């Protein structure tokens, strides 16, 4: 197995030193994210003047906060004039370039461009994801893998489908582990001594927005059971098909410029990984459900504890209520305060015999009304019977479908749908015959089977269908 390189063997040595000390680190990161946002889709490069102007704009909005912290964090022998925003912007740009976050490139006309290295793009994208706190999106990852692996079109690429499905399943499993760990982190945070306002904010603003959509999608649109069996079955069939593996490996070797033997190992690794991960997800899903329910219970319990306190049982509440009522009575208050909760939303003003107790009432037995049917004339009965027989005679049965299809074979064993006469399904009244021809295909009471075919859809006049052929049973 190839040994992976340590990332710190590739990154500049002082890359994180500029972010690791003093209160200035948050300003460095804010400026880097602003530069990254400008450079992300910029086709012509960022000149030094544009970057300096953006830093000055940031300092202008931050005010003395950024300049003061920069003055405390200055490490140069000759410190710049921190009262000047333009000089401070040049100093910050120079420090970021020295640390390795930025690179300078001078053109022939002495125009200086500011460039973000490849590792800076990757690190700043991760920092921006942390900054935005967007909820984890599971939508479509497993669905995409299912569509790729079960595709049966003519332009199907096995190597591309397998590699893309591998990446989608890998991201999905990683996201589920992230969701599981984050639910545990929220549960640990909620058990700390927090006020009720912070607990409610965490419950409805933080947890519900960050983890709620991901958990909801996991239980609905991206539910594992909807796609897992089809994916695993297709991959297990491919594992037993040596010709398919060789074909996929040759395609992968051509795309990835690796040897055929390495490509075979990659194909087998991708299939084993997808099957193993999908079949072993049930314990992880059960753990996510358990921790989700545990967080909800723990959060509610903490809120109740904070609101009610240790004296929160029913007996203690009655004692406190009695003491409060006795205090009102000692003060000469005859009526309850207007702000006090009433026991009844609609109080009884004039009590009567049924105000406090309603005696049971014996109901009389239920006697249904007599149903009288309409009397039909004998001629009406004959007419209805004839109409019913006529409608039954129009019903499409397997025998009628067999007679309809059989007239087109003309001694042939197979019949392509495109070889039918052009006027076979020319009117809307003919469409039910096409529908039932397809529906009764492979039915035990008919003498033909339907076999789907590859190729372009066939135009039948009113409708367009996927190509198929009818095969006569028997000899």
Could you read off the pLDDT of 452-463 as tens digits, one per residue?
888 888 888 888
Is residue 76 pLDDT above 50, yes or no? Answer: no
Round to whole Å and give the CA distance between 416 and 454: 12
Q: Look at residues 289, 139, 134, 137 and name the one whose alpha carbon lies nearest to residue 206.
A: 134
Which residues, including other chains, have CB under 8 Å from residue 377's CB and lie 6 or more apart? Answer: none
Residue spans of alpha helices (H) in 8-137: 25-39, 48-62, 64-73, 85-99, 118-132
- Reply yes or no on whether the pLDDT at 111 is more than 80: yes
Is it the case that residue 71 has pLDDT exceeding 70? no
Distant-in-sequence, close-in-space partners of 265: CB < 8 Å, separation ≥ 6:
none
Query: Are the CB atoms for 431 and 415 separated by under 8 Å?
Result: no
Residue 119, classified by CB atoms within 10 Å of its CB into exposed (0-12), middle (13-18) or buried (19+), is middle
Residue 428 DSSP one-character state: G
More confident residue, 103 or 20: 103
Where does the pLDDT of residue 73 fall: very low under 50, low under 70, confident under 90, or very high at 90 and above? low
**Strand blocks (E) in 78-236:** 103-106, 112-115
What pLDDT does 272 receive? 92
Average pLDDT over residues 116-135: 77
| Stretch (H or E) spanning 470 | strand 468-472
Q: What integer pLDDT is reported at residue 310 of this predicted model?
A: 47
Q: Give dist(CA 183, CA 297) in Å, integer.
A: 13
Q: What is the pLDDT of residue 346?
A: 55
Rounded to an integer, what distance in angstroms lies between the CA atom of residue 165 and that of residue 158? 10
Instruction: Residue 189: name the closest of 205, 204, 168, 203 by CA.
Output: 203
Nearest-angstrom CA–CA distance, 190 and 291: 13
Decide if pLDDT at 21 tops 60: no
At residue 404, does pLDDT exceed 80? yes
pLDDT band at 20 (very low <50, low <70, confident <90, very high): low
- Cα 168 from Cα 201, distance rounded (Å): 33
Average pLDDT over residues 248-274: 88
pLDDT digits over 370-398, tens only? 877 777 788 888 888 888 877 766 677 88
- In angstroms, rounded to a whole number, what is the distance separating the alpha carbons of residues 119 and 1? 25
Interatomic CA distance for residues 106 and 115, integer angstroms: 11
Give the model's pLDDT for residue 80: 54
Tell me the pLDDT band of 308, cut-offs 50, 70 and 90: low
CB 471 within 8 Å of CB 451? yes
Go through the chain and tell me how many residues it has: 475
pLDDT above 80 (res 300):
no
Average pLDDT over residues 235-242: 90
Q: Is the pLDDT of residue 170 over 50?
A: yes
**For residue 178, what pLDDT is reported?**
78
What pLDDT is attached to residue 79? Answer: 47
Nearest residue to 70 (alpha-carbon basis) of 61, 87, 62, 82: 82
In this prediction, residue 1 carries a pLDDT of 41
Q: In which band, very low, low, confident or very high, does the pLDDT at 77 lie, cut at 50, 70 and 90?
A: very low
Residue 357 has pLDDT above 70, yes or no: no
Cα 403 from Cα 40, distance rounded (Å): 67
β 468-472/414-416 pair status: antiparallel
pLDDT category at 228 given cuts 50, 70, 90 is confident
Asked if pLDDT for residue 4 goes beyond 80, the answer is no
Is the model's pLDDT at 406 over the cut of 50? yes
The mean predicted confidence, pLDDT, of the chain is 78
Could you tell me the pLDDT band of residue 316, with boundaries at 50, 70 and 90?
Answer: low
> Is residue 207 scored above 50 in pLDDT?
yes
State how far the Cα of 471 lies from the Cα of 475, in Å rounded to an integer.
11
For residue 76, give the 3-state DSSP assignment.
coil
Does domain 7-132 correspond to CATH entry 1.10.10.10?
Answer: yes
| Mean pLDDT, range 35-55, rounded to an integer | 84
Query: What is the domain partition of the chain in residue ranges?
Result: 7-132, 141-302, 394-472
CA distance 210 to 201: 12
Mean pLDDT of 106-120: 84
């Amino acid at each position: 197995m190839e040994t992976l390189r340590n990332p710190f063997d590739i990154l500049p040595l002082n890359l994180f030193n500029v972010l690791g000390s003093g209160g200035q680190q948050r300003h460095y990161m804010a400026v880097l994210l602003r530069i990254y946002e400008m450079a992300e889709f910029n086709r012509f490069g960022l000149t030094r003047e544009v970057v300096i102007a953006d830093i000055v704009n940031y300092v202008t909005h931050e005010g003395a906060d950024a300049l003061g912290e920069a003055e405390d964090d200055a490490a140069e022998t000759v410190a710049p004039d921190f009262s000047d925003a333009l000089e401070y912007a040049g100093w910050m740009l120079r420090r970021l370039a020295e640390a390795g976050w930025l690179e300078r490139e001078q053109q022939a006309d002495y125009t200086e461009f500011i460039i973000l290295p490849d590792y800076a793009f990757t690190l700043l994208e991760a920092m921006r994801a942390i900054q935005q706190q967007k909820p984890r999106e599971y939508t479509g990852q497993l669905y995409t893998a299912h569509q790729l692996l079960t595709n049966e079109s003519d332009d199907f690429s096995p190597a591309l489908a397998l590699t893309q499905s591998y990446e989608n399943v890998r991201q999905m499993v990683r996201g589920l582990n992230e969701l599981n760990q984050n639910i545990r982190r929220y549960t640990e945070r909620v058990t700390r001594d927090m006020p009720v306002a912070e607990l409610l904010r965490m419950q409805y603003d933080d947890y519900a927005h960050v983890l709620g959509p991901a958990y909801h999608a996991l239980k609905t649109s991206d539910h594992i059971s909807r796609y897992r069996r089809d994916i695993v079955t297709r991959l297990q069939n491919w594992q037993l098909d040596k010709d398919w593996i060789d074909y996929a490996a040759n395609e992968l070797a051509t795309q990835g410029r690796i040897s055929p033997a390495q490509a075979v190992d990659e194909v087998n690794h991708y299939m084993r990984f997808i099957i193993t991960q999908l079949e072993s997800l049930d314990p992880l899903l059960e753990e996510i459900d358990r921790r989700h329910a545990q967080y909800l219970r723990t959060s509610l319990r903490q809120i109740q504890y904070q609101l009610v306190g240790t004296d929160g049982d029913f007996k203690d509440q009655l004692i406190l209520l009695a003491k409060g009522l006795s205090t009102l009575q000692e003060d000469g208050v005859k009526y309850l305060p207007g702000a006090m909760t009433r026991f009844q939303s609609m109080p009884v003003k004039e009590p009567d015999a049924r105000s406090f107790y309603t005696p049971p009432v014996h109901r009389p037995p239920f006697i249904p009304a007599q149903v009288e049917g309409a009397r039909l004339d004998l001629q009406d009965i004959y007419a209805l019977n004839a109409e019913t027989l006529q409608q039954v005679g129009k019903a499409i049965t397997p025998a009628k479908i067999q007679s309809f299809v059989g007239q087109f074979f003309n001694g042939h064993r197979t019949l392509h749908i495109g070889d039918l006469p052009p006027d076979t399904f020319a009117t809307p009244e003919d469409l039910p015959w096409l529908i039932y021809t397809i529906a009764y295909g492979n039915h035990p009471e008919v003498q033909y089977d339907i076999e789907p075919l590859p190729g372009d859809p066939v135009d039948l006049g009113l409708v367009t269908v996927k190509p198929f052929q009818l095969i006569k049973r028997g000899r």
